[in-house]
Structure 1
Amino acid sequence: MFAREREVLAHVEYELGASDHSVTLLTGEAGIGKSLLCMLIEADAPQHGVRCVRHSADDYALGTVAWLRSMYAGFGLPLPLSADANTEAHLVDGLAAGLGRLAHHVNHRFLLILDDADGLDNEELSIVERLYIASGKAPAPFHLVLAGLPTLRDRLAGPGALALGEHVRSRLPLNPLNAEESERYVRHRLHVAGSTQMPFSRLGLRSLRDDGKGNPKRLNALAQRALERAAERGEQNIGERALGFVAREVLPQHARYWLRRYRKPILAIGAMLSILFVGGFAVWVFTGHSPSRPKSFVAITPEQALAKLQDALPPPETGAVRVWGELLARWQVSSKDTSVANAINCDALIFPGFACVSGRGSLDQLRRFDRPLVLELDDAHAKQQVLLVGAGDDAVRLYLGGKYVELTRDAFDRVWKGRFYAVFRIDPAMPNKLSRGDSGEGMHWLALHLAPNDPKLAEPSIFDAATETRVRNVQQRFGIAADGVVGPETMFALSSLETEGPHLARGVP
């Protein structure tokens, strides 16, 4: 055993002797040695007068009732025979009462070790907590050791943690082996296996140690595959180069590992993707059409164009989700920031630093904003939403939620009555409105956008008469009501002056 195992065993032994109740949390990454420690604790417990039961993932798979019944047998208690007593609540209470009676007569202490406890769901962990509390009321000296991945530690700590976390007295992280311990571990395993000589060269052993990252499971997997490969090739000495080849086969972060493990499915998927790619390319070449190339309705009459537009529109709900999803993608907003369903509501602040504004305007006004915007069609088209991605003097380019089309402005004016929605990035400190006399938060952002090329004017200041004049000039330039007040629409206009972010497509006639 290394120092870490001895420390954990000594700590658990101390908890068993120092109090009647304790919960110890043992966490570490997969393969670090948690199960071995659980077995060592189980083997050491009887020497201290402790009756111990150890369960793992195989026991949890039996179901909660069968799992609880197995604890009766483990602690030497008679199983309840009544059908009514074989419910989770009755089994927990009966187990605690039985442990209390047993402790009173034979003066035993009890230890429950739950290995792979990260595999227990929240309901099962609440049952464990109930058993722990019930044993304290019985009373029965009851100790609990939980072993699992670091995710278990996160579930039992911090805001919103499970109630069981409140009873944890000791949190013992199982750290990886250091370089010296890793090498000792490999030598020990070879000695146990009966090896009389070291099959790894000095550089090979160092490579094995480095790639193993102090994880016994990784060390075992690398060493075993290296020995198999050496036996296949008749090699007597395993060097650094061989270990590098083995690491690419064994460790999941290398593509070779996945190719070796899932070779047939990967080949099948690759073949299907190749067929789809070749087929799509052939369609693109021979038809002259690309899925992303806009379909032009410019050369036909407005009536014909509107009929084709109606046929191309998806269902309104589907179209809205796709259109807003495309708009968020163009702004490089990920699902971690917000959802499409949340963005569709167009709240004034979708999330800190990202705002939404809605209003009415003309197509020429929207061209001045030079940003992709969501446009709402008239009632005859069920207020369908489309994305304006380009606008010229004679035509507009729209994304309908699956395909791009180009319409003449005359045809589009027949189905759009001016309603639009726009998103933009904004300083999180910016208030909802700024007007003459205001100061403080938001003034720095406003001054920078009103005078981006004048460092003196870019300093935060009070909203004075000169600032109000500049705001009115911007509002007149963008066709906004020139009231000198910086509201959501004016903020959107100012943000559109930035070069960053998406812009309307060029080259639309």
Structure 2
Amino acid sequence: MYHQYFGLVEPAFSIAVNPRYLYMSDQHKEALAHLLYGVRGGGFVLLTGEVGTGKTTIIRSLLEQLPDNTDIAMVFNPMANVPEMLGMICDELGVKYVADEHTVKSLTDALHLYLLENHRQGRSTVLLIDEAQLLSADALEQIRLLTNLETDTKKLLQIILVGQPELNTLLSQPRLRQLAQRITARFHLSPLTLAETEAYIAHRLQVAGLAEERNPFPRAIVKKIHRFSGGIPRRINILCERALVGLYGHNKQRVDNATYRLARREVVGGLDEPAKDLRNWLVWGLGVALVVVIGLLLWVLWPVAGDKSTSKPLEVSAVSSSSSVASVAANKPNNNARPAQEAIYFARLQEAQQALYGHVGMATGEGNPCWQTAASDIQCETRKFSTWSELRDLNRPAVLTLNTPDKFTVYAVLVGLGQYRAALITSTGEHQLMPLTELGQRWNGAVFYVWHKPPGYTGAISQGDQGQTVHWLAQQFAQLDGQTRRLTNDRFNQALTERLKIFQRQAGLTADGILGQQTLLKLNERLEIDTTLEPVQEP
């Protein structure tokens, strides 16, 4: 096949997991360092990333670097119920248990005895769960309980959770807040940048035995590959594989535009191309016809309205229907706008998050903004919505996760929401409007947003609690009510509970007297602490 044609010792872009081909970008090195930290006693470690970003390959690389005194249990079927999951963990470690007593207690007791014996022998034990976003809430709670197995000085079991971004949504549930608070290290594996994509392709070719000067992918083609793949290594592999097969089939040495287009068509399937072209031509023709009709009407009616010198000219904003995204400027014309997908979509979640942070006035440098603000009062949240009404009620600028027609994941930064249109910001900070009907076809419901936590806030509080958050809440209500004295100092008393209930009723919330996240979001709106959604001018 093509690898012999290019003199390669093996196919360079196989999607099979092979640690030899692991391209260690800076973030991949950091991700591996986090896993090694967990293995060496770091407690709960969380690694997330989109499908195809290299999580499984990093796991394989981790296995090659495990210390000799480490035993590891790997769970790849997290959809099992709790007893089955505990049974898999015991089987992986070789823990002996009574088969007829397949209960949570018997399995946990057997596992505890094994961990104690392993600890006495100077060995460490690690539990690694892949695809952890598929775990049930009950299974996650049971995993948290396993971390209670400890001596006076050390946890007996180190746990690594690896999964897709939905895992963060799962862990944000109130019932799992105890587990979330035990996570000592988090890392999100983002797609590759353009420079990393170029280095990644060259790295795989080099490992497969190709000399650097014979690289068949010119930089212009690499840019197209990066744009199409979104920087996801698995997608890069598939596209490059097809491109090399195309070169082999046409007896070429370098990927040109024709070879790239053919490879791309084979990856996404070309059945919809003629229909797409016909649709684009029809839309273009209808647009031209509409402009002609409007021109004729204005020409006929102009004498009637021409003497009204004070009347304002009709402003018509052109929308490129052939593009997959409506590109209409919110407040000013954008004559030099880039193609809408490039302007509005962010290929990497981290880039979209940085744009969101910039919009709400939270300056960050390069890298994960949530990590940079982890020590402050800024809280990152990931949730799953199903309606626009939920987003309106949230009333926060947010990063939306979208699925393109090519089944790739991209991100949009929502800063305004009307009845029919949404306001998005581009990478240059400009505002563009997009119909909700079109945005809704691509949005998968995932939402990322940020908000300010009160001092000392770690979870919902209610009457009887005390601390910094209680002091802050009493102070805010004193300011809202124009009072010089607070209802309490630092203990959540009956008076503060009743005042909170009044606010909850005014905000349309359940008046339960509990200061949870939903109440805090509404209170932050009232106090103008958080940036909220901008109004959108409707057609």
Name the TM-score, length of structure 1 as normaliser: 0.45
State the TM-score, normalizing by the size of structure 2.
Answer: 0.43
